[in-house]
Chain A
Amino acid sequence: MRLPRFSPSFYGLGLVLVVLAIIAPALPILSLTFLTSLLIYTALAYSINLITGLTGYVSFGHVVFMGTGGYALGYGVSALHLSPLAGVALGGAVGLVLALGIGIVTLRFRGVYFAISSLVTALAALQIVLVTPALNDGQGIVLSVGFQARNVFYTIWLIVTAEVVLTYFATHGRLGYGIRAIKSDEDAARALGIDATRLKLYVFMLSGLFAGASGALFAWFTSGVFPYVVFDLTFSLFMLAMIIVGGMGTNVGPFLGAVIVYVSYWYALTVPSLLGLAFAAIGVIVILVALLIPAGIVGTIRRRFPSLRGILE
């Protein structure tokens, strides 16, 4: 397989990631924690970008992978005595398999129906977890793994880097053409020989893998997994907001969106009375973007300035 030529935006992202990796050991704990959180949200953004941004299937319930990933780590570490790293891998594996199971059924549905199916799946999963004794019912699982800030940071860094690379290859290779065609006109795509069923499923499984791994890491990061936290629809909302603002289906968009949305959120956290209003503001931003610049920041720049298309992706 011939390697695609890498674009400047890819190198730019790569540079940012490399710099982060290098300076991490020198950072104070608070900054490292902030960056770790930011990378978790970035990872989630890239994950949903695969199925929603690139393929056009709006996954309202994407948080289900995060939740099950978190519980996979929780169960793995507390009951199976796995190391947290193995727990993250388990979270990814569980996310992959869950996406396969859910996708086989729900990817048959188009547009709105897929979105709603995805939503009810996440809600049902929460209810089921609440009454599952093996997962401590609704109590959640507390982890006593100690807080290894650097290990957590580098693990999520690895996840994000893998996603960035994968997203790049997905948008530039054969798979990219296939899913773009599917997003554009699925029936016409099939009429040209594109096995839409299989392609969608692959993308969804990858999406679930990364969201599951991120959820597992989140549980490690917060030393516990609690159902109302880890299945919180707010994460789904965040994920969508990030890629909508940044630019759905682009390579840089999820990162940009994550920075904008997460930094606003983090800032609002420091002023508790602002929290609800910060989210409300994010809501307004989403509305404005959807109605006025549906392609998001990166997407709209690419549209308005075609000469930049080779540079900014």
Chain B
Amino acid sequence: MVDAGFVVFQDLAYGILEGCVFAVVAHGLNLIWGVTKVVNVAHGEFIMLGAYGAYFLSAWFGFNPLLSAPIDALIGLGAGVLFYFGFLHRELRGKETVTLQTEMVTLVATFGLALFIVNLATSVFSVNPVGIPWNPGVVRAGSISLPVGSLEVAAISVAVIAATHVFLTRTYLGSAIRAYSQDIAAAQLVGINPTFVAAVATALGLSATMLGGALLTVWLPSGINPLMGQTFAPICFVIVVLGGPGKMWGSLVGGLVLGVIINVVPAFVEPSVGASLALAIAFLVLIPVLLFAPEGIVR
């Protein structure tokens, strides 16, 4: 390896940049999980839909991912409301805690949804991977080159996470959501409508997810395909568990950890083994975290 140090720093830079996007992609899952205590198994499929949304906006109107992201976010809001009333409302309505039954039902129902979306997408989109031809160039920081596109989406990702933090802590609706996530009965006692709050949280969650999918396309120059959700969903699960479900900045911490693992590990092992080993480690990181820090590594 020539100049190994340089390679690692380059990978580290990529890891951090990609990690930011992972974070926003997982953020929606974090939000929904943290507030409604329901895990959306179809999460990966919504990421995929967001990516395809950006692809079609690019193919039809020439929008780059930065422009597509807010449009995807709006679509996500609508999808979130539909998703809430279709899947979650029946189980959550009138209940003060999430029972094992609810957990099972939503796990299975969202799993069915995932199956449905993936296969519909495969039929409609075809399995051939596509990409968005957008390349705004590269900047150099010392001996490290940083693609402008990656920098921009990383910045937007962090901004989105920060915005949700501000929303949750500084606005009335945000406080209502936080109250609901801590104690539904108490929230109702102070006049908060649980259905409204849960629906809003779900809408925001899917909105962030689809926005993330759009931003993610920058890292997938030729990798947008119907099955991509099946790779990213587990990554998101690990990220949320790492950061702690419901802890908003946890998404960023988890995302960065995974981004770094996936990009830096291959630098230390043989090229043929690198990508697979990195993925395996990224996935298995979940286990020690669950064993030793089940609430997540963020305080």
- Of the listed stretches B119-127, B160-168, B169-177, chain A binds B119-127
- In angstroms, Cα B115 to Cα A123, docked, is 17
Whether B103 lies near A280 (C-beta < 8 A) is no
Chain A residue nearest to B122 in the complex (CB) = A276
Any B CB within 8 A of the CB of A20: no
| Cβ-Cβ contact count across A and B, 8 Å cutoff | 135
Q: Is A135 an interface residue (CB 8 A)?
A: no
Q: A106-B287, A116-B286, A117-B287 are in contact. Are A244 and B119 (CB under 8 A)?
A: no
Question: Which of B115, B122, B237, B287 is close to A237, meaning CB atoms less than 8 Å apart?
Answer: B115
Name the residue in B112, B118, B291 with the highest tally of chain A Cβ atoms < 10 Å from its Cβ. Answer: B112
Which residue in A124, A185, A241 is a CB contact (below 8 Å) of B283? Answer: A124
- A294 lies within 8 A of chain B by Cβ: yes
* Residue B56 is within 8 A (CB to CB) of chain A in the complex: no
**Interchain CB contact under 8 A, A119 and B234:** yes
Q: Are A276 and B120 in contact (CB under 8 A)?
A: yes
Across-interface contacts of A290 in B (CB, < 8 A): 105, 108-109, 111-112
| Least CB distance, A98 to chain B, in whole angstroms | 15
Contact present for A280 and B108 (CB under 8 Å): no
Q: Mark A275-292, 1 if CB is under 8 A from B, else 0.
A: 011111011111111110
Q: Which of A27-35, A107-115, A165-173, A218-226 contacts B (4 or more CB under 8 A)?
A: A107-115
Stretch at the interface among A2-10, A125-133, A154-162: A125-133
| Interface residues on chain B, number (Cβ under 8 Å) | 42
Given A117-B287, A291-B90, also A283-B237 (CB < 8 A)? no
The answer for the CA separation of A241 and B112 in the assembled complex, in Å, is 8
Q: How many Å lie between the Cα of A56 and that of B108 in the bound state?
A: 12
Closest chain A CB from B102 CB (angstroms): 10
**Within the complex, what minimum Cβ distance (angstroms) separates B105 from chain A?**
5
Instruction: Please determine whether B237 and A124 come into contact, CB atoms closer than 8 angstroms.
Output: no
Question: What are 24 A-to-B residue pairs whose CB atoms are below 8 Å?
Answer: A58-B107, A58-B108, A60-B111, A105-B287, A106-B287, A111-B100, A111-B103, A115-B107, A123-B283, A124-B284, A127-B277, A127-B280, A131-B276, A240-B111, A244-B112, A277-B123, A278-B119, A279-B115, A279-B118, A280-B117, A286-B108, A287-B112, A287-B116, A294-B108
B residues lining the A interface (CB < 8 Å): 39, 41, 87, 90, 100-101, 103-105, 107-109, 111-120, 122-123, 230, 234, 237-238, 241, 272-273, 276-277, 279-280, 283-284, 286-287, 290-291, 294
